[in-house]
Structure 1
């Protein structure tokens, strides 16, 4: 097997375990806070701590990702990947020993601080994959993350009933440690340390300014933010929306879970196929069509009259979403100056964390003004505006290249 395929296979497993481990605790966090080892009893206190603990990871990840990106450009992507993988494995195991909500909050914030497996994996795959296979590789890597995100909450809920809360952390940390060990032994990159040492050692802020002067990257970062903002924003409202469409409380949790997972299911299968197609016809075209298609699929969700309609259109939307992240990652590599790839992918991950933080907050405010359906319509409008922006910036680049 060619080395780039070995890298892709191992990092797919790593992406799956990282995202699965990060989302596995969602179904039982409030229950874990009530367990004998922690012992919270007040419902309002439990809800507050659960929200803080969940958000803590994204806050520190948003702040520290650019630093790890800078260091990966200086010392190599594999080093940063292993630092994050082994570090998160230890932190997740320690969560199983928590005896107070403060322990969990601090550990989640540390986890966000040392995280960076995903951008390092993306950067490493983009650097080691042949250019004509970049779209396929990005799509395949994305499917690993989506699979972990989808199956994580399901496995977490099943394991919580089967083996209890604390062993889940020990199991997840052990699996992540083994995936990191596999990456240590199998994944290879050709990183020129001497060349990296000759490049100017720009600060994180200066690196952000340099990349911010490239309009194509700015629009691509905005795509990443909007994907998370638009998809995570309605998530807390989906059970209420499903209840409203279903007309009764029977099996609400089942239908809400199915509706939430529908886009992820189609996304997981569509990402590799659309990535392969983008290698043939260009990432710009796939990105444009995917943005417009995803925007249009929000509209019928806003006016759905049954749960089945909502389920169908979220599944169809997931197909278009499957073309977004792989295309964005491939194009980021295309427009990023040599030697700044790690920084670019880390900034992109920061915008993803920002979408995770602001999506539910803004979605709740919008739903209070114009209803849950309005959240979908606002997301649709934002996607369309972004499609025009991306089209303008990328087309401008192509026109400039042709004129030369």
Structure 2
């Protein structure tokens, strides 16, 4: 077996463990705040958005720095740094007793995070170019598979042992995945050759930000994550509004999160192959259009069963978003600065992850959670338009696959 394929399978399993562990508690963050003694509903919604987004504020700042270090010292080292660091911080999060402590630990977690971006960068550098879309799609399937199992078992565990102990299980799961990477993943990393031109973090940033295609991708990534994360911390509250059978709010909140992941996992490898054949920019464009369309029915659902169907259909298109975006980045990045570029892309998506939940929490107080879904659909349509104009995406089928190159 080629070592890149072996790395792919190992990292797919590791991302499954990491995302499965982390997603066990995230859908229930508002309920965790209520357990701490917060009773006012509007206050819970606001704090949930702030704490949920705090992780992404520090990640937004530090992601390019970790990316630059990965180009100098290797991507595997960044995976290990992030994995062991997050395991410790998340275990400490289970000991938090106030929203302020929870906020601080989420900021710290974002500062040391980067397991997923470093894994993507490692696979992008060791995978044959004609297999990149497939490899990143399969890698995303592993991550999404974890996001399926995590909320489902998190909902069961929340009913059995409470929210606090799930943090301890999460930390242990991430530590196990990191040890697997330590002993099994192989990276053929060669340090950058010294160049006469004096370069530093800021000169590299200036060089990267001069690439117009990369700026478009960063902008699309921001809008995409801003939209997708806008309602994420509100979903368990929305499920509660739908009067779940038997009153099992935590269980059905986890199930709603999981069903989207099921369809996402199914579609990601298939859409990745389509990206390798017809162009990742086309797959990304149509995936955003489909995602926008299926956010609209969220406004009209009347019970949790209807919501489950809509979320499943939504996930079929969401599966083509991140993998397609990540497949496009190596095409326009200097090879020796690929991890740095991924770092900037992570910053853009983290900014969306930061502002999306905060904005969604604020807007839900004005227009309701249902109204937020319509705003999300509009933002995704705008993101698709930005991509089409920036890459001149050709939609007719008469063009030959070989001629379909980005831009």
Bin the TM-score by the shorter chain. Answer: 0.7 to 0.9
**Residues 267 and 319 of structure 1 are in contact (CA less than 8 Å); yes or no, is this contact kept in structure 2?**
yes
Q: Does 1:140 align with 2:138?
A: yes
| Alpha carbons of structure 1 residues 159 and 230: separation in structure 2 relative to 1, 3 Å | same
Q: Is the 8 A contact 1:239 1:252 kept in 2?
A: no
Q: Report the Cα distance in structure 1 between the residues aligned to 2:334 and 2:54, rounded to whole angstroms.
A: 32
Report the TM-score, using the length of structure 1 for normalisation: 0.84
**Shift of residue 402 of structure 1?**
11
| Paired position in structure 2 for 1:20 | 20
The change in CA–CA distance for 1:185 and 1:314 in structure 2 (over 3 A counts) is: same
Query: What residue ranges of structure 1 are gaps of 5+ in the alignment?
Result: none
Query: By how many angstroms is 1:385 displaced?
Result: 2.4
Show the counterpart of 1:43.
39
Closer, same or farther: CA 350–150 of 1 in aligned 2, 3 Å: farther
The 5-angstrom pairing of residues 4-403 of structure 1 reads 4-26=4-26, 40-41=36-37, 43=39, 47=44, 53-98=51-96, 103-162=101-160, 167-195=165-193, 197-198=194-195, 202-238=199-235, 246=242, 251=247, 253=249, 256-304=253-301, 308-395=305-392
Q: How well do the aligned residues superpose, as a CA RMSD in angstroms?
A: 3.5
CA shift at 1:267, angstroms? 0.9
Inter-partner Cα distance in structure 1 for 2:238 and 2:121:
38
Kindly state the Cα deviation for residue 318 of structure 1 after the two structures are TM-superposed. 1.3
Q: Secondary structure at the match of 2:336?
A: coil
Report deviation, 1:345: 1.3
Q: CA deviation at 1:138?
A: 0.6
CA distance change for structure 1 residues 278 and 199 in 2, over 3 Å: closer, same or farther? farther
Deviates more, 1:249-258 or 1:232-241: 249-258
CA–CA separation in structure 1 for the residues paired with 2:14 and 2:273:
21
| SS of the residue 2:335 aligns to | coil
CA deviation after TM superposition for structure 1 residue 248, in Å:
8.3
* 24-33 vs 373-382, which moves further: 24-33
> How many angstroms apart in 1 are the aligned matches of 2:232 and 2:13?
26
| CA apart distance, 1:297 | 2.2
What is aligned with 2:397?
none
**TM-score, normalised on structure 2?**
0.83
User: Cα distance, 1:99 vs. partner?
Assistant: 6.1
Distance 1:367 1:95 in 2: 27
Q: 1:378 to 1:59 in 2, by over 3 A?
A: same
Q: In structure 2, do the counterparts of structure 1 residues 256 and 85 end up closer, same or farther at CA, with 3 Å as the change threshold?
A: closer
Per-residue deviation at 1:352? 2.1
SS in 2 for 1:288: helix
Give the SS at the match of 1:193.
coil
Asked if the contact 1:11–1:121 (Cα under 8 Å) also holds between the matched residues in 2, the reply is: yes
Deviations 1:137-190 (A, max 9, x none): 111111222222333233334334545666544433333222222212221222
- Give the length in aligned residue pairs: 397
2: CA distance between counterparts of 1:221 and 1:28? 30
Change (3 A) 1:229 1:82: same
Give, in whole Å, the separation in 2 of the partners of 1:33 and 1:379: 25
